[in-house]
Chains A and B, each alone.
Chain A
Amino acid sequence: MGHSSKWRQSNMAERERDLHILWLPGTASCYGLQATWGMGNQLYVFPGRNPILQEDGVQAHNPEATEISEVRWDTDMHDKLIRRLVNQSHNIFMMLQSQAADASSATLKQQLVKCSKQYRSVMKACSMDLLEASDNTADEMDIERFQDQLKVFEMQELIWSLCEILFIDVAPGGRILIPLLEWLRRHFPVGFQIFKDILQQEKPEEHREYWECIYRLILQGEVEKVRSLLARHPARQTDCFLSMEELLKKMPLCSSNYKGSSLSEFEMKWRHWREDCERRLEEGDFATNKYLETVARILCGDNTVFSHLRDLCQTWYHMLISKLLYQNPTVKANDLQYYTQDCLDDFRCDGMLGDLDNILIAVFEFDSHQVLKECSGFFTSFWFAAHLTDLLHHGGCLKSHRLVFGSDLREYLLLDYAASLMSHKSLWQVGVDYLDHCPLFGRSYLEQYIEHMSYESEKKAVKLLHICERRNMTSQVKSICKVMGMRLLHNDRLGAALTWFLKSKDVAFATLVAEKFLTQYSDKGKFDNLDLIDNLGSSMLLSNRLTFLGKYREFHKLYEEREYHAAGHLLFSLLTSRLAPREFWITLLKDALGLLQLRELVYGSKQTCEMMHCLEELTKDTKHLEAGKQTTDLSELQENISLLQVALTKNLAKAIVTEGTVHPS
């Protein structure tokens, strides 16, 4: 997590004015504070080690300060209503990544436009949900919160769709103004709303905002709507109205109807029409009506009239597009930046430029890096910046330059977005997919996150395990299995613990469990987990001890089924192959006692001798017998040993006799 902390600090330093101050109750501040990173958006804060010298030279003293506070901060993403944004945009993101990997550049552009629109429609859906929620609640705090979030979504849509126009869905032939006008109308719907309102009226011209509405509409190039309003004016038959109607009708429309004609053809028509406008204005066609005169001056692209109507434009970027519509309708996208300053100057008296203004200026300047940098600082969640960056990255709009901390901007933002998801109790699964698409640090981050993930139920562990297995994260697979297995072990669930150790082929712990099974058997004289032990199959081969356990259990089954010879041979091979742990020999020999006492002969002379050797070895090497045993046990043991010695000797005698006897064939 070392990286992550450094990045955040640098990010914070940049945005000092966004500082949040949180009072931590009960922390001994005289010791200073120390902190360590938790999962993503999480800090653990605790008192420092060195007491600060107080002014009077007395050392502050607080030996009780052992509290650790967990500090977490949510981003917008954590709001219930906005969680659908996370999930739906995740789908789009994943689709885009797979398409970008194998699409040709021609189809990729189409895909990018499609994805961009899908992202925007998800934002729209969230706005709708917020609007609905805000309408359905009476709590003023909630309403305020919803309204704030709505404003954020509006801004995001404004920026995103402008980026879409200028970076992704670049209009063919460079006629950038058409989509820009649509963008303008979508985000400044006031004119259209008044227009609808006016149409409802019996006497439209008496509407308080009749002319204002006409100005607004003409500033957005809504010529048809202006004409329909003028046509409702009682003075429509007067000369000045007729002249205006003629001008508006003849205006070469900046619409898709003009797609067929060439750019030069359009420019010629436009020049003619402009000259006509200017002539009529000069000849005083509109001198009788100051409102129409203003409209005519807009049509002529008169700078002063735009400044005059500044308030109707609301913002500098509205004015920019309105001005360009009448001053330079064939402006190229790359030249937009040269026109922004004038409009900004008109609005400058309002004070400092806001964040939004700076972002939009950067968009008009095609400075994609600046756009994303501003966005990531401006919006509290990294959702917006991360997804927009990814889209621009695939569109080839980002120069790949490395940031100081080693990754490029896309990865930096994706990592941060993923961090906010990984620190969420529920959304972490989405975060995993984002980390997959961070080529430099994604993998190591994921490893770190997985190792810090908490899981209690086996179901969640299985899900985590699958995530790791799919990515060949062997050491994490092993550690998940170990955590689960150990937890079960502590809860005396030996069988279940073993399944986890088998899963990760953990020899050491499989051996440990097998030993516990054997101890249990030694203590109780029976096995508890027969359903598992009896069906170990080939997995018993994982560890010697496990193999011994399986085979030893097989011996018992054979014995129970009265398959004495098979049982005897199995027992003998367990003893002599040294598969059995030394401390278990005495148990095996005791088991053999039953076989030795049978009427029929199970062990031949050679085998009996070998077993005698084993017994002898055992009595010599007494440490295996004495370890941890009570003296009473020891005497019992001595008894067992002498019993065995007798039984083995008898068996040897019997075997020699039987082997020496010639059976008539």
Chain B
Amino acid sequence: MMADIRVKFVSQKISKIRWRPCSRQGFGSSDVFATGSWDDESNSVSMWHLPGDSQGDEDMEDDVSDELVEKEPRLLCETLHRGDVQDLQFLGMEHLITASSSGTVSVFRHHPNSQVIGVSQEWDKLHTFPSQNNCSCTSVASQDETIVSCGEDGKMNVLIVGRRPPLRRIDNADSCTINDVIFLKQSEVVTVNSTGQLKVFDLRQPSDQPTSLFLVTGDQTALLCIDKHPTQHHVVAAGGQDGVLSVWDLRQEKYPVTLLEAHSAPMWEVKFHPNHPDHLFTCSEDGSVWHWNASTVGAASAGAGLLAGTGAGSGGGIAFAASMPGGSGPNPSHSCPWLTLDVSRHKMDITSLLPTQKNLPVNSIDIERQILLCGTDEEAIYAMELPAIR
């Protein structure tokens, strides 16, 4: 299967790439995405439009002639960003949160009518070191109006959009660097750190201690990224500095249910497909992007995934907080192929998506519907159509 690939060279190394969430959950598809750059004299946050929607957008069909040029991503607007963009998340349709290598967390507002983007709120140097060194804010996550930020200082901040002082600071969240954070439920977050630990924090608890701690293996390999199953929130996948993909069942194990040797270099991002959770995507420093198709493993659960798929995306997780009492409840693990992988590994279908082998690193991926976006150190944006996902 060869994907239809569109490439745009953008003259800056892309550290993060994110689809803007759809206005109508589950319907239509987004054609706007954001990118952040890193490691340059000046870095920027940019908004892009991806024309030529394959799912039949009527407005676009009149000109077929300049199809190739027409289908390239087009820059809508951009703005300077202080420091490397370490993380980038949409907050609804018009707001973007960025994590900076300067330790700052910023909220940008994109005005879609005038195509202007600018800072609307900033928590300057939220993450700091006692010395002059910059302390990177490595990751941000959001749930409704709540933002959680993590950094190389091992601290975690809980912020509310529109309010200046942080709602809460967890100073000793981690002895090491926190590399990624995601919301698990309404008030529960998961972090991964540079000694291969995965921690669950309940933000309602007064204690600074995690409610549970998981380990990848005994040998302290850093975990760099994490994503949760869009419908079964006790299933999380994380990528390590050694390129290994690990899958946990947060209800029971201290160690991952599945460890899959994957890339030959650090894995920078892992993403479940929001509507088809049997499909997973990973990208790596080795320059490859992999598509993991587990729909052929065990009992098919695609149907169940689709039914509950409205929970994915921004701010939709609330509905699940009630139905997911941690650890107990009905056991749906039989319908989740990611938890039974080690038994039937031979059935896993893995495809490498980029055409050439010796690419520069791929730092970021995002998938929505059938289009996978990649941001690379090659200063290119890739948009790949994957018609095989159903």
A binds B: yes
A439 within 8 A of B: no
Closest chain-A Cβ to B222's Cβ sits at a distance in Å of 7
In chain B, positions 20-41 with a C-beta closer than 8 Å to chain A are: 38-41
In chain B, positions 77-129 with a C-beta closer than 8 Å to chain A are: 84, 86, 101, 129
A463 within 8 A of B: yes
Bound form: Cα–Cα A283–B361 in Å: 74
Inter-chain contact A496/B9, CB cutoff 8 Å: no
Q: Please give, as numbers and ranges, the residues of chain B lying within 8 Å of A84 by CB-CB distance.
A: 9, 11, 379
B172 within 8 A of A: yes
B220 within 8 A of A: yes
Bound form: Cα–Cα A421–B41 in Å: 14
Contact stretch, chosen from A91-99, A185-193, A261-269, A298-306: A91-99
Inter-chain contact B361/A463, CB cutoff 8 Å: yes
Which partner residue on chain A sits nearest B10 by CB separation?
A: A84
B197 within 8 A of A: yes
B265 within 8 A of A: yes
Given contacts A462-B241, A463-B361, A493-B153, contact A457 B219 (CB under 8 A): no
State how many residues of chain A have any CB contact under 8 Å with chain B: 46
Contact stretch, chosen from A14-22, A389-397, A525-533: A525-533
Which partner residue on chain B sits nearest A502 by CB separation?
A: B220
Among B13, B84, B153, B357, point to the contact of A457 (Cβ < 8 A).
B84
Which partner residue on chain A sits nearest B84 by CB separation?
A: A457
Among B39, B197, B285, B378, chain A packs the most CB atoms within 10 A around the CB of: B39
Bound form: Cα–Cα A580–B238 in Å: 38
Give the interface SS of chain A, mostly helix, strand, loop or mixed.
Answer: helix
Inter-chain contact A538/B40, CB cutoff 8 Å: no
Which partner residue on chain A sits nearest B379 by CB separation?
A: A87
Which partner residue on chain B sits nearest A79 by CB separation?
A: B11
Among A98, A499, A530, point to the contact of B220 (Cβ < 8 A).
A499
Q: Please give, as numbers and ranges, the residues of chain A lying within 8 Å of B38 by CB-CB distance.
A: 459
Bound form: Cα–Cα A528–B209 in Å: 12
Q: Please give, as numbers and ranges, the residues of chain B lying within 8 Å of A463 by CB-CB distance.
A: 266, 285, 361
Inter-chain contact B152/A458, CB cutoff 8 Å: yes
Inter-chain contact A456/B266, CB cutoff 8 Å: no
Which partner residue on chain A sits nearest B355 by CB separation?
A: A91
Closest chain-A Cβ to B196's Cβ sits at a distance in Å of 8
Q: Please give, as numbers and ranges, the residues of chain B lying within 8 Å of A629 by CB-CB distance.
A: none
Given contacts A495-B154, A537-B219, contact A456 B195 (CB under 8 A): no
A287 within 8 A of B: no
Inter-chain contact B215/A535, CB cutoff 8 Å: yes
Residue interface mask A414-431, B partner, CB < 8 A = 1 = 000000000001100110
Interface residues on B, range: 35 or more
Q: Please give, as numbers and ranges, the residues of chain A lying within 8 Å of B197 by CB-CB distance.
A: 531, 535
A474 within 8 A of B: no
Among B101, B175, B213, B380, chain A packs the most CB atoms within 10 A around the CB of: B175
Q: Please give, as numbers and ranges, the residues of chain B lying within 8 Å of A470 by CB-CB distance.
A: 265
Given contacts A493-B129, A531-B197, contact A457 B101 (CB under 8 A): yes
Q: Please give, as numbers and ranges, the residues of chain A lying within 8 Å of B176 by CB-CB distance.
A: 495-496, 499, 532
A290 within 8 A of B: no
Inter-chain contact B136/A458, CB cutoff 8 Å: yes
Q: Please give, as numbers and ranges, the residues of chain A lying within 8 Å of B303 by CB-CB distance.
A: none
Bound form: Cα–Cα A535–B218 in Å: 8
Inter-chain contact A456/B101, CB cutoff 8 Å: yes
Q: Please give, as numbers and ranges, the residues of chain B lying within 8 Å of A458 by CB-CB distance.
A: 136, 138, 152, 177, 179, 194
Q: Which 3 A-B pairs have the closest CB atoms?
A: A495-B175, A84-B9, A529-B175
Name A residues whose Cβ lies closer than 8 Å to a Cβ of B.
80-81, 83-84, 87-88, 90-91, 94-95, 98, 425-426, 429-430, 433, 456-460, 462-463, 466, 470, 487-488, 490-496, 499, 502, 528-532, 535-539
Name B residues whose Cβ lies closer than 8 Å to a Cβ of A.
9, 11-13, 15, 38-41, 84, 86, 101, 129-131, 133-136, 138, 152-154, 172, 174-177, 179, 194-195, 197, 199, 210, 213, 215, 218-220, 222, 224, 241, 265-266, 285, 356-361, 377-380
9 CB < 8 A contacts A-B: A87-B379, A426-B12, A457-B84, A457-B86, A463-B285, A466-B266, A528-B172, A537-B220, A539-B219
